Amino acid sequence: MNVKALEIMLGTRRVGVLFQYPLSHDHTVNRFVADDDFASDPQQEILSLSYKAGDPQAQAAFWRAIGSAQFNGSLSSDAKRGWLLPAFFQNLLPEGPLRTRIAQMRGCDPEDQFELLAATGKDLPGDVHAMPAELSRDALARIITQNNDALEMSVVAAPMEDAISVSGVQAKLAVLKAGGRFVASTKLTDEHQVRHVIAKLPVANYPHLPELEDLSLRLARAAGVRVVDAELAPLELLAAEHHYDLGDVDGQTRFLAVFRYDRDADTATGRVHCEDFAQIMGVQPEAKYTLDYLTVAAVMQTVPSLGEAAVHELLRRILVSDLMGNPDMHLKNIGLRYPDAMTPELPPAYDIVAYSAYGFVKSGRALHLMPPAPGVHNAFKPLSPVVVRDFCGRLGMPEKPAWSTLRRCAEQAFDTWPALIAQADITELMKARILERMARFRPGK
């Protein structure tokens, strides 16, 4: 039986090994097994909140349960995608055009999940690294099958230097801002005095998308939401190959440079670990539109470093998305980060876009606000006092501070957004559509 294996590093520490081997002709095992040293460490770093147990004894027992669904991949609901990695690792993989491009560079199938992780293992989100593992036959037999089968290692190619993993289906690149230019990391020998950037490129079917996303971030900030730092820059400053069809553009066409909150850190690796709520909830990327915001809020409320303040910020982001017409705040667009590798905090909001500007957002959210009753259609409900009272009541948290937070957010939006929209470099029709969307939520409507 041939086995592929990747060492999983969190920062500079190895936390375990991810294996792949065929169990039968129609069943592939993708399994993560934690190292004994890591599993028994009472001060272990957090790889994922989904892997966090209540106390050191329970934590050690959790890691030993290698047959758990959390450590094993599943068969995709889409037959063409085959066997997926465990949810935490599957959610590290690139999506959309970037995934296709990396598969072409690697010479593998775009649905070869393990090979894609191996290809991008040096530049994954957060502070996770996946590197080819070198294990003895005895170690393979002991860890994987408890000495029941004869195993042989398969060679896993090293990660590609220019392969990065970024989620989302929009055309984007991971680059470095050095001086006034944006360059591929492989083009620099000295990364001092640079900033890590996600370059979000123009999209042919969505005119002025970088400008619209820049506006959307500024609208959210004006309403009290903490958002990522970003700037618009002309394509002539982007000195990195991308291989995307951007439509009719020139050097002055702009892209949006979003500065990464999981890089440029004062750590050994220059990274901050992070994860999204698809990883935290243990669901595959294809299920990112499942669950509900109440469940996300309940997780936040159980974490001392998050609590009510994080729930209030979540509510602000829901309201801002409602006002501007952003129906895409799904589980992968909400996350946590771990600046000290152990204490979760809510990072700045990212991927907020007023898609109402394109005229196809009527109502609805990426997720239900609260779980719908069985057999009952859960229609869109604005964040009214009654709805907020129900939401807070289910969480067991005071409703008045939450409602005050939302009222201030709405007031700031209605006070500041019209001027920001008027000044934006998008078409007049796009501006009118966003303003029309806002008007539906104005008090008294």
The SS3 call for residue 257 is strand
C-beta separation of 119 from 163 below 8 A: yes
C-beta separation of 213 from 353 below 8 A: yes
Residue 49 one-letter amino acid: L
Torsion of CA 346, 63, 12, 194, to 10 degrees: -30
Residue 283 one-letter amino acid: V
DSSP tag of 287: G
C-alpha distances in Å from residue 157, one per residue of 2, 117, 118, 160, 387: 15, 11, 7, 9, 53
Residue carrying structure tokens 């010479």: 107
Rg (CA), the chain: 23
C-beta separation of 305 from 344 below 8 A: yes
C-beta separation of 262 from 127 below 8 A: yes
The span from the CA of 43 to the CA of 46, in Å, is: 9
DSSP tag of 152: E
**120 is written with which tokens?**
């991008």
Closest CA to 334 of 322, 350, 345: 350
C-beta separation of 68 from 25 below 8 A: no
C-beta separation of 293 from 237 below 8 A: no
Residue 203 one-letter amino acid: V
**261 is written with which tokens?**
């909150």
Residue carrying structure tokens 């009222």: 407
Question: Nearest 5 degrees, angle CA 325-CA 328-CA 330?
Answer: 140
Which residues are known to be catalytic?
Answer: 328
Task: Classify the C-alpha dihedral 269-270-272-274 as positive or negative.
Answer: negative
**Sheet order of strands, 172-178 included:** 230-234, 254-259, 194-200, 172-178, 181-183, 238-239
